[in-house]
Amino acid sequence: MKEKEITIYDIAAHLKISSATVSRGLKDHPAISQKTKKLILDTAKEMGYQTNPFASNLRRQKTNTIGVIVPRLNSSFMSDALSGMENIANISGYNLIITQSLETEKKEILNASTLFNNRVDALVVSLSYDTKSITHFEPFLKKKIPVLFFDRVSPRKEFSSIVIDNYKAAYEITSHLISQGSKKLLHVTGNLLRNVYYDRCEGFKQALKDNNIPFDNEEFLISNNLTPEDGKDVAQRILNMNSKPDAVFVASDLCAANIMLELKKNGIKIPSDIAFAGFNNDPYSRLVEPGLTTINYKGFEIGELAIQIIINQLNHLQKMTMTQNIVLGHELIIRQSSLRHKPKK
Digits of tens for pLDDT over the chain (345 positions)?
Answer: 445 778 888 999 999 999 889 888 888 888 889 999 999 999 988 888 876 655 555 555 678 899 999 999 988 899 999 999 999 999 999 999 999 999 999 999 999 999 998 889 999 999 999 999 999 999 998 888 999 999 999 888 888 899 999 999 999 999 999 999 999 999 999 999 899 999 999 999 999 999 999 987 778 999 999 999 999 999 999 999 999 999 999 999 999 999 999 999 999 999 999 999 999 999 989 999 999 999 998 899 999 999 999 999 898 776 655 567 899 999 999 999 999 866 554
pTM as predicted: 0.80
Residue 344 lies inside a defined structural domain of this protein = no
274 and 244, same domain (yes or no): yes
246 and 281, same domain (yes or no): yes
Helix (H) or strand (E) holding 179: helix 166-179
For the chain, how are helix, strand and coil distributed in percent, rounded to 5? 45, 15, 40
Q: How many CB atoms lie within 10 A of CB 13?
A: 12
Backbone φ, ψ for residue 101 (5° rounding)? -85, -10
- Can you give the residue range of the structural domain that contains 73? 63-164+298-330
Query: Which amino acid belongs to residue 321?
Result: T
CB-based burial, 213-225: b 16+ in 10 Å, e otherwise:
eeeeeeebbbebe
Domain count for the chain, please give it.
3
Return the bridge partners of 125, or none: 69, 149
Residue 181 lies inside a defined structural domain of this protein = yes
Considering only CA atoms, which of 78, 93, 75 is closest in space to residue 302?
78
Q: Residue 60, exposed/middle/buried by CB under 10 A (0-12, 13-18, 19+)?
A: exposed
Q: What angle do CA 56, 310, 199 make, to 5 degrees?
A: 145
